[in-house]
Amino acid sequence: MIGFDVTDHDTAEEVEQACFERGLLLLTCGQRSLRVAPPLVVNFEQADTALAIIADACEAVAAGLR
């Protein structure tokens, strides 16, 4: 499991929803964190896809486009 922080709880919820809409399940955790719990075995392509989705979702939320 790995997590990362954003600015506040509302932003965390928006990023969570934006990732879900793009096919990636993240969960909020605490006040402003998101956690990613990938399976024990992932390949590079799957990891790259997940990171691309997270980056796209964060950019969309930051730009107010979610």
The string of pLDDT tens digits covering residues 3-54 is 999 999 999 999 999 999 999 999 999 999 999 999 899 999 999 999 999 9
Does the model's pTM come out above 0.85? Answer: yes
The mean per-residue pLDDT over the stretch 55-61 comes to: 97
36 backbone dihedrals φ, ψ, rounded to 5°: -120, 130
Q: Which residues pair with 2 in a beta bridge?
A: 36
